[in-house]
Amino acid sequence: MKTIYHAADSRGHADHGWLKSKHTFSFANYYNPERMGFGALRVINDDFVIGGQGFGKHPHRDMEIISIPLSGKLRHGDDMGNQGIIEAGEIQVMSAGTGITHSEMNGDAKEAVKFLQIWLIPNKMSVKPRYQQLRLADMMQPNEFNQVLSPNPDDAGVWIHQNAWFSLGDFDQGVSKTYQLNDANNGVYVFVIKGQVDINGQTLNTRDGLGIQDTEEITMNVAKDARVLLMEVPMHL
């Protein structure tokens, strides 16, 4: 097993007044040649947007973009005609493919919105752009790695053009849980949304990340009640 640890306070930081963002990997004005991603995983942005503000219309192409609201309301609009609100307990995915223009605004005039935006490099370029939004409440079981994303449209959760699986779970203190990789050639990036866990002797606190490769499974021990996002991705593109 090979691991790489990213402490929460080691992330890049941007403060634009209306937007405060922490970057696990190099993004925009934050550049670290040793933090260019983890396999197909290219971006993990931890965003805070004040009420009434947001990202106006802008383009993307050839990228799988996943948004996971943590609190507040995220208002989405795109040139495919999709309009709506994404809230905590939901997940959104866009396959940018040949090109998509969209906006992500705070859906509330006063309350801030907090969300994770995650980008993966796809395994198919120039696909037809697509959008998907899903409520996760009925899928979420306590103390389990609940699958919320996969490569298969027929599986649980949303799907993307990549051999990747995301799992999300809320875990009680004292729980020990093992995750079996779907593909032994993949790696796993663990992001602790809140709480404290231990993996292979490494303690992870709120907003810490740990990249793991060269293993078929990982075991997580929960030191404090935790919410954890696990991202299994190809290590070679």
The Cα 184–Cα 15 span in angstroms is 39
As a whole number of angstroms, the distance between CA 156 and CA 93 comes to 14
Q: What angle do CA 106, 108, 109 make, to 5 degrees?
A: 100
Predicted local distance difference test score (pLDDT) of residue 217: 97
| 69 close to 104: Cβ distance less than 8 angstroms | no
Environment class of residue 116 by beta-carbon count within 10 Å: exposed (0-12), middle (13-18) or buried (19+)? buried
Cα of first residue to Cα of last residue in the chain, in angstroms, is 20
**pLDDT tens per residue, range 46-89:** 999 999 999 999 999 999 999 999 999 999 999 999 999 999 99
The model's pLDDT over 187-228, given as tens digits with 9 standing for 90+, comes to 999 999 999 999 999 999 999 999 999 999 999 999 999 999
pLDDT of res. 138: 83
3-state secondary structure of 62: coil
pTM of the predicted model, to two decimals?
0.97
Q: pLDDT category, 137, cuts 50, 70, 90?
A: confident
Contacts of 214 (CB under 8 A, 6+ apart): 1, 2, 187
Q: 87-126 pLDDT, tens per residue?
A: 999 999 999 999 999 999 999 999 999 999 999 999 999 9
Give backbone dihedrals phi and psi of 57, rounded to 5 degrees, phi first. Answer: -60, 130
Nearest-angstrom CA–CA distance, 30 and 52:
26
pLDDT at residue 145 is higher than 90: yes
